[in-house]
Structure 1
Amino acid sequence: MKITYAEEKDIAAIAAAEAACFPSAEAATEQEFVERIKYYGNHFWLLYDADKLIAFVDGFVTDEPDLTDAMYENACVHNENGAWQMIFGVNTLPEYRKRGYACELIRRAIADARQQGRKGLVLTCKERLIAYYAKFGFVDEGVSEKSTHGNVRWHQMRLTF
């Protein structure tokens, strides 16, 4: 197993994993990943088992304190010097779940954000996942008023250093 950052060669595998992990209304498209990797491939944490991508976490950096739907749609607003590491997705292929892979990637994202001097990380999740992210130190800030991505009710969670 190895963790790497995303490159153009990873796009098809990333898009396939996203499609396997999220309903189509919530999943990013291959073209969206092309743009995201162009602007912030170094904010994708990919876990490979040999040549197979089995899990990844992705997001971008911004000075905005809250995660908004517009952030998913506009990769070029990434600010490498921003204060907050946003997490857009935590993906593990269904057949590899419950083995700690997402946990390993989340911890790596947290460590990288801390090392880069960020204020912390922000993500949104469904209510059933609040306790999972709380284990990493994320605090539930309630239902997001700025994200209804995929017509879902999201809770915004924040980990502040």
Structure 2
Amino acid sequence: MNNYFKIKETHIYGLIALFGLLLVLVLIPMEIQSGEPRLMPYVYAAGLLIVSMFKFVSLFFNKKTEFFKFNRKVFKYVGLNILIYTAYIFLIQKIGFFVMSILFIIALLRVLGEGWKITLTLSVMLPASIYILFTQILALYFPSGILF
């Protein structure tokens, strides 16, 4: 059985360009409220879009494209991580930063193969440290949802 699959370089840059468009047209306007800092997310997304489109067009006309080999097992982990991050991003406003952070860390560490002891320790200690530092000391507040 073949444990690797190949993807054209042009397809990768095309996907990056689509991600840049998704950021500019959907994700950034949806997640940034009025009055909040807006410049840097748009600068990042525009840079991502410009570089990927330039590389995509130059490879398209050059006709010399490379193939990248990816291990199927690694690709599975990457896909699961993207799914976990996406769920975290979309659910953080509804459920709340700290509860979602705990669930996010548990899911991510378990997918990566960590044991329960380190997973539970980190999933409680990291959000608690962030809460104490940012909310209690610096008086910065995170998205609160239905749980916290």
Do the structures match in fold with TM over 0.5? no
More strand by share: 1
Higher relative contact order (CA 8 A, sep 6+): 2
More helix by share: 2
Over alpha carbons, which structure has the higher Rg?
2
TM-score by length of 2: 0.31
TM-score by length of 1: 0.29
